[in-house]
Amino acid sequence: MSAVATKKKSEKVPKMEPLYTSNPLADADPETQARVGQLENYIMKNCLWQFNSRGWDRRKQNAGIIGKTAQLLCGEEVENPTPLEKCYWVDSVLLAEAYREACPWITAMDKDAIKGLMTKLHQRMDWLMIDGSLNEELTVQHY
């Protein structure tokens, strides 16, 4: 055995800028609020990916997984050029399956409507988990 691996240094932590100053769903119509609420509730009860400990990390997780889930729900091909992208994708596959099963109304929506709804979900998750979060550790610079 020998010491052979070359360690990479930690990358600089991205600066986190807030995207929202209030709940982006506050003015949405009741049906959209109810549907996004259902999608959000499934994530919060069953998933862990949205809880990474830093805000900038949560931003990437939300974008990666909700974005790929929207593609899968629309029947689009998903590209996974890196292992990190592939990791987002596996969570997306399970989330898309769960949505089809628990929210059958989503299968009756057209692609534009699905994309619109998933954009709202993405905004809501960014608010809930990052910009509106009370977690004071999200802006800590190190892990």
Partner 1 sequence: MPYHEFECSKVIPERKQHAVVKGEGEDLTSCLPKGYLNTIPGSISERGCAYCGAKHVIGTPMKDVIHLSHGPVGCTYDTWQTKRYISDNENFQLKYTFATDVKEKHIVFGAEGLLKQNILEAFKAFPEIKRMTIYQTCATALIGDDIAAVCDEVMEELPGTDIFVCNSPGFAGPSQSGGHHKINIAWVNTKVGTVEPEITSDYVINYVGEYNIQGDQEVMQDYFKRMGIQVLSTFTGNGSYDELRGMHRAHLNVLECARSAEYICDELRVRYGIPRLDIDGFGFKALGDSLRKIGLFFGIEERAQAIIDEETVKWKPQLDWYMERLRGKKVCLWPGGSKLWHWANAIQEEMGVKVVSVYTKFGHQGDMEKGIARAGEGTLAIDDPNELENQEALRMLTPDVIFTGKRPGEVAKKMRVPYLNAHAYHNGPYKGFEGWVRFARDIYNAVYSPIYQLSGLDISKDEIATDKGFVTRRMLSDKNLPEAITSDPVMSEYTGKYDSVSELREKTYPVFERKSATAAAE
Interacting residues toward partner 1 by CB under 8 A:
1-11, 23, 44-46, 48-49, 51-53, 57, 82-84, 86-87, 89-91, 93-94, 127-129, 132-137, 143
Q: Which residue has 């590209």 as its token pair?
A: 79
Residue with token string 């919060």: 44
Closest contact distance (angstroms) between CB of 132 and partner 1 is 4
CB 51 within 8 A of CB 129: yes
- The CB-of-103 to partner 1 minimum distance in angstroms stands at 17
Phi-psi region of 75 (alpha: psi -120 to 50; beta: other; left: phi over 0): left
Nearer to partner 1 by Cβ, of 5 and 108: the residue is 5
In whole angstroms, how close is the CB of 121 to partner 1 at the nearest point? 14
Query: CA-CA distance, 4 to 23, in Å (whole number)?
Result: 50
